[in-house]
Structure 1
């Protein structure tokens, strides 16, 4: 069964649905982002090295990575609007288990449960955002993803303000966030079910089909290029989300709280970049946004390891703003290649984003134990150069009016 686009009578984006999806994304990713923000606490409590820190990231990101494409494939055939609520139950269990973990093994298992909740959330949420877009795919994905970026921005700040001073057990206080997310997701499930029922009863609905006319070989090549570009983006992003605080502490001797505030600034700027990039992509084409967002961050990334504390903050803001628009453009470009497989593509690319980030975090941790975190940032600065491969992508049709 193929997915059908859900549009309002006036063919405008369904903003209440998109706003609720953004809020659900914020709450989901807020919980996830607290895990990397608490790595200094876990490192002290369980006497961990950098490899073990990287394995925590690997646990919750690879769990999500392996399951998202499968769940997306299944929901393409049999959509389940309330799947997100079920997924948040796993997140709640993982959060409570992480709060009272008495060993490193329990921390890994709890992180895996939180990853499971993410695996359930993203494919179905991507489908809802696509159907609520009314043709404004960049705007819809930008609104949806800005919630995730805001969640990832707020999480480290809350971790610094609440959990770091009070201890790991205070993580359980955030179970209320998960319960609110479940209520929002329940409303979305009911609204989406009603929209699908009304749309199926309409005489005007049509199936969404690919209009690019590309042969199968070009589609496969384009997908391969998009995956390599994700490796570039997520490899560099993993250095920041998992180790930026350690880099700042090691190089400049700043306090943990200041390093987490700087991580918050990096992440919140990314939230602005993702919605701006999505709207620009509607007008100039996804391929242009992809190569501008990845390759355009290269000079700033190369300068960052040689800057002082102030300019490190400035350059990290520039990198975050420019690079953050890449994922929404990559995701929409991939869905446009095979629009009848929204859940599969959404699950695959969100899964790859998490999985590649997890693998990169573990590899960066291993390398940091050998050569130091400062040298690692100098090496990772070259990853955006892979953005040159974006020139191999077929030119996308301009979306603007």
Structure 2
């Protein structure tokens, strides 16, 4: 599990690396805003669409080798993105990274659930690894490219190559990892569909805040540092919330925790848009808890709703539904430009409301034995 958590961090580091690479592409190559947006879409769109397909493939035949290979491909793509002045080549390199991310998640989530012995806390640690890696992406990218420029981008491959080889070595020690696991129970697509609505709504509000929170707080409180602190609070408290979700689920049940989180998220998001001054940080922290406490529970619920298609369930809950939020960010930005950023943020409270309404129709599934 330690290797899987660390590997998840390394893999998702390359998702977080994309928005950090874009400013350097704009600065060195004079990309337009449209071209810059296209780079982000290359990673987000391809990963979100292809990830469920990898899930279907791993349901038919377990492919544990996709875990280290996907991780290394994600790193190689980011490493190659700075070597050519051609926009097409750069776009394809970023898309290759997104393909690696897509290949990694379904099989890694299946293995993590198995190694965690069906425990919620273990899966919370696995989810925490991904969240931490995403947040660390800019921490790795910014100093490397600031010092060496885009020509130094191959150095960004190093964590993926090291992590891939360590993961490969760890997988060799897992007995029967290639065996098809016997499962029982019927796939409940109706419940899984409701859960997908919940995850999409959560993803949209999370990406919306991640994109515009720093700008809003810097205006509200004053200064670039104030906005950066808001993001640190959002992702830092969110990481704690990810772990807390598994603990609460063991005691109170997943469905109750999910419903309670999203109903509390409605006033929390409203507070970000309405509360003046430094008190906004309190509501940023509350919002982080309400959005991240259910995060790992989505994956285990999806796997239990589709006990015969664990890869598909993981691909959707960790891939398609999550990445859709990134595609919605431009719409939120357009609304902010047309009205105001405050109203755009205030409108986000509709999304936890949608998640709560959808979650009210969820039932606790029978947990499958892995």
TM-score by length of 2: 0.87
Tell me the residue number matched to 1:183.
165
Q: How far apart, in 1, do the equivalents of 2:326 and 2:261 lie?
A: 22
How much does 1:77 deviate? 1.7
Q: How far apart, in 2, do the equivalents of 1:162 and 1:268 lie?
A: 23
Q: How far apart, in 2, do the equivalents of 1:105 and 1:373 lie?
A: 33
How much does 1:242 deviate? 3.1
SS in structure 1 at match of 2:173: helix
Q: Mind listing any 5+ residue stretches in structure 2 that lack a counterpart?
A: none
8 Å CA contact 2:270, 2:346 repeated in 1: yes
How much does 1:325 deviate? 2.1
Match of 2:77 among 78, 90, 94: 94
Tell me the residue number matched to 2:211.
242
Structure 1 segment 377-396 matched on structure 2, within 5 A: 377-386=345-354, 387-396=356-365
SS in structure 1 at match of 2:111: helix
How much does 1:272 deviate? 1.3
Q: Tell me the number of residue pairs that the alignment of Structure 1 and Structure 2 aligns.
A: 366
Structure 1 segment 202-241 matched on structure 2, within 5 A: 207-210=182-185, 219-241=188-210
Structure 1 residues 35 and 251, CA, compared in 2 at 3 Å: closer, same or farther?
A: farther
Q: How far apart, in 1, do the equivalents of 2:86 and 2:217 lie?
A: 28
Q: How far apart, in 2, do the equivalents of 1:30 and 1:285 lie?
A: 31
Tell me the residue number matched to 2:32.
48
Tell me the residue number matched to 1:196.
177
Q: How far apart, in 1, do the equivalents of 2:16 and 2:242 lie?
A: 17
SS in structure 1 at match of 2:116: coil
Q: How far apart, in 2, do the equivalents of 1:290 and 1:158 lie?
A: 33
How much does 1:32 deviate? 1.6
How much does 1:370 deviate? 3.8
What do residues 24-51 of structure 1 show as CA deviations (whole Å, max 9, x unaligned)? 01111122212224555555553533x6
Tell me the residue number matched to 1:81.
64
What do residues 198-253 of structure 1 show as CA deviations (whole Å, max 9, x unaligned)? x89xxxxx82323xx8xx7xx33312211111121000011123333344455555
Structure 1 segment 224-373 matched on structure 2, within 5 A: 224-249=193-218, 254-255=223-224, 259-308=227-276, 310-373=278-341
8 Å CA contact 2:75, 2:156 repeated in 1: no
How much does 1:345 deviate? 1.0
SS in structure 2 at match of 1:392: coil
Structure 1 residues 196 and 44, CA, compared in 2 at 3 Å: closer, same or farther?
A: closer
8 Å CA contact 2:189, 2:306 repeated in 1: no
How much does 1:371 deviate? 3.9
Is 1:20 paired with 2:19?
A: no
Q: How far apart, in 2, do the equivalents of 1:164 and 1:357 lie?
A: 29
Match of 2:110 among 110, 127, 131: 127
Is 1:35 paired with 2:18?
A: yes
Task: Flag the structure with more relative contact order, 1 or 2, with Cα contacts below 8 A and sequence separation at least 6.
Answer: 1
8 Å CA contact 2:10, 2:71 repeated in 1: no
Match of 1:146 among 121, 128, 131: 128
Q: How far apart, in 2, do the equivalents of 1:293 and 1:103 lie?
A: 46
Tell me the residue number matched to 1:9.
none
Q: Mind listing any 5+ residue stretches in structure 1 that lack a counterpart?
A: 1-17, 201-205
Structure 1 residues 163 and 394, CA, compared in 2 at 3 Å: closer, same or farther?
A: same
Deviating beyond 6 angstroms after TM superposition, the runs of 4 or more aligned structure 1 residues are none
Q: How far apart, in 1, do the equivalents of 2:218 and 2:22 lie?
A: 13
Tell me the residue number matched to 1:59.
42
